[in-house]
A and B are shown apart, each in its own frame.
Chain A
Amino acid sequence: MSKSSTPAIQFKDVSRHFGDVRAVDHVDLQIADGEFFTMLGPSGSGKTTCLRMIAGFDQPTSGQIFLHGTDVSYLPPYEREVNTVFQDYALFPHMTVLDNVAYGLMVRNVPKDKRKAEAEKMLELVRLPGLGKRKPSQLSGGQRQRVALARALILKPRVLLLDEPLGALDLKLRQEMQLELKALQEQVGITFVYVTHDQEEALTMSDSLAVFNQGRIEQVGAPAEIYESPASEFVAGFVGVSNLIRGPLAKQITGSTATFSIRPEKIHILKAGEKPPSEAYSAGGLISDVIYLGMYTRYEVDLGGGNILTVAQQNLTTTKGKPLAAKGQQVQLFWEKDHAKQIGAK
């Protein structure tokens, strides 16, 4: 499928109110054709409502939603060229797996032989050949997930919506499915819009992502951009672990009172007697806690005045689990000026 320069999905000043609750509050958004796009946010942040409005299960209170340039804001779900993988899979319990997958073709009056053949092809695509005769209740969680995918993809939608589809799976299966979904998306070449509250999942899979908070979008960008340059305190805190430095301490370190964030792994701990490079920011503190985590060690460093920084050091040279610095030790920290991101600055 050739990619179009028209965005696959566009939100123009979309709001959705439920009574007094502003579930979605003046959202503007563009999702490029063929992208793996993730809507990330805590529960109640409006991400699922946005997804439901794209699918047509919900309608905006105000604003417009465009699918490939066409205004679909008030079009019913069955007239939109998008399909959805539901959080609980929503397989039809009274139908076989094959009938589930062929459902979309059936309601379009595709002849029986043809839709059966097509459905079997889809089951192969999701690596479930030969399971067509079973009922959904006879499948494992992971298998149901794949059936739901096959059922949604059989109509060859230009956009596939996925509502926390991996939420019910255990960690190992979830990690496998993440990679598989990503591969599948590249194979079929259509836009995936993926909703999750799991920031690691979002960073792993997405071409770009939007971080939702209280019905608004806080930031849109590629995973690295979101992680490295969080646009708000919320993003800095929600995506990964972050140290926020503000007020007098910020003034003391950077010379400016603007709040900035620094990721734990970007901070270096100096050994005794070493001097920080002159072009870096530095600060001194007392190690208040040391947590050994295998791949790396986490330190809590008390800078005084209630400011505690989290520092992560890869265990490159440690042996026998002996940490680099011990609790109660006075240490000097430094980090490159580039890594201290001023919140809100581009």
Chain B
Amino acid sequence: MPSKTVNREERAPLVIVGMALAAVLFLNLPVFIIFVYAFTTDSQTFTFPLPGLTTQWFGIAAGRNDLWEALGLSIRVALLATVLAMLLGTLAAAAVSRSKFFGREAVSFLLVLPLALPGIVTGIALRQTMGVLDIPFSFFTIVVGHATFCMVIVYNNVLARFRRMSWSIMEASADLGANSWQTFRYVLLPSMSTALLAGGMLAFALSFDEVIVTTFTAGQDSTLPIWIFSQLTRPRDRPVTNVVALFVVLIMAIPILLSYRISQRDGETQLNR
């Protein structure tokens, strides 16, 4: 095999194609099992093939108040955490991209830390601090934990946009008579809005699904992931859990796909965690 001509013709070796394909299937097939099990008639085990099909569990799940409460709490937490993360992440991105200052690197590093360190570190640290300061568990303790690790998602997205933007448009705006507020309102905000939105969507998804930190900051309150986790370790309502899992997949697909669409339209892809 003359290696020089092979180099020009970029055909992947079959081994690599096979391994890549296997990895893609491995990544994507398992979630589909959820769609199957939501319709099983089996309420005690996970028997496959399914003994029969039914849609009765959807109605039963819909009638469960504990589920609705958990879902409501999860959404409220995710919304507030996202808003905080968008605000703080954008401020940090603006500061880092706008000026050079001592410790700029350290700021980036500090923001990545909650995602780079094991979740349990953040969880235990917050939990113990609450203990020392005698702060009771509440909606807000959950939100504080979530906003801390969601911030970096927004920060990354917005920073990437700022790096691509020409800062002279801010100067142009001021030059044409706009004060700082007007420049923010008419130039900066529209220029970064899609990146901010995409980052916000991802932050929402991240918060909506978080369980490790939440375990330590939620006390008796149950977010949807906490509810699912309790079902995983002590299964009581298997069929209902199957239905919940299906809905969680569908609910989370919305912000993720929206974020992807927004980023793609701007020629950016920032779905990395």
Contacts and interface: CB of A to CB of B under 8 A. Distances in A.
Interface of A: 55-57, 76-78, 82-84, 86-88, 90-94, 103-104, 106-108, 151-152, 155
A104 B182 CA distance: 11
Chain B binding surface SS class: helix
A57 B168 CA distance: 10
Given A88-B168, A106-B186, A107-B186, A94 B191 contact: yes
A56 B174 contact: yes
A92 B169 contact: yes
Given A78-B176, A84-B171, A155-B176, 10 more contacts: A56-B175, A77-B171, A78-B177, A90-B166, A92-B172, A92-B187, A107-B176, A107-B178, A107-B182, A108-B177
Interface residues of B, number: 17
Contacts of B177: 78, 104, 107-108, 155
A84 B176 CA distance: 8
Contacts of A92: 169, 172-173, 187, 191
B136 interface: no
Chain A binding surface SS class: loop
12 contacts: A56-B175, A57-B174, A77-B171, A83-B175, A88-B166, A90-B171, A92-B169, A92-B191, A93-B169, A103-B173, A152-B175, A155-B176
B190 interface: yes
Contacts of A152: 175-176
Interface in B165-204: 166, 168-169, 171-179, 182, 186-187, 190-191
Contacts of A86: 168, 171-172
Interface string B56-71: 0000000000000000
A219 B77 CA distance: 66
Nearest to A87: B168
A57 B171 contact: yes
**Nearest 3 pairs of A and B residues by beta carbon:** A104-B176, A90-B168, A90-B172
Nearest to B168: A90
B179 to A, nearest CB: 5
Nearest to A161: B175
Given A77-B171, A86-B171, A90-B171, A103 B191 contact: no
Contacts of B175: 55-57, 77-78, 82-84, 152
Interface of B: 166, 168-169, 171-179, 182, 186-187, 190-191
A187 to B, nearest CB: 21
A103 B174 CA distance: 11
B152 to A, nearest CB: 26
A93 B164 CA distance: 12
A330 B78 CA distance: 89
A213 B7 CA distance: 52
A6 to B, nearest CB: 23
Contacts of B182: 107
Nearest to B165: A93
B159 to A, nearest CB: 18
Nearest to A104: B176
Q: Which of A77, A82, A83, A155 has the most CB of B within 10 A?
A: A77
A103 B166 contact: no
Nearest to A103: B176
Contacts of A103: 173, 176, 178, 186
Contacts of A87: 168
A86 B178 CA distance: 16
A152 B177 CA distance: 11
A93 B176 contact: no
Contacts of B173: 92, 103, 107
A40 B187 CA distance: 32
B174 A77 contact: yes
Contacts of A55: 171, 175
A106 B178 CA distance: 9
Nearest to B193: A94
Contacts of B174: 56-57, 76-78
A226 B147 CA distance: 63
Contact of A83 (B169, B176, B178, B186): B176
Contacts of B169: 90-93
Contacts of B191: 92-94
A261 B171 CA distance: 42
A228 B166 CA distance: 41
Contact of B178 (A57, A78, A84, A151): A78
Contact of A151 (B168, B171, B176, B190): B176
Contacts of B190: 94
Contacts of A108: 177
B181 to A, nearest CB: 10
Contacts of A104: 176-177
Contacts of A88: 166, 168
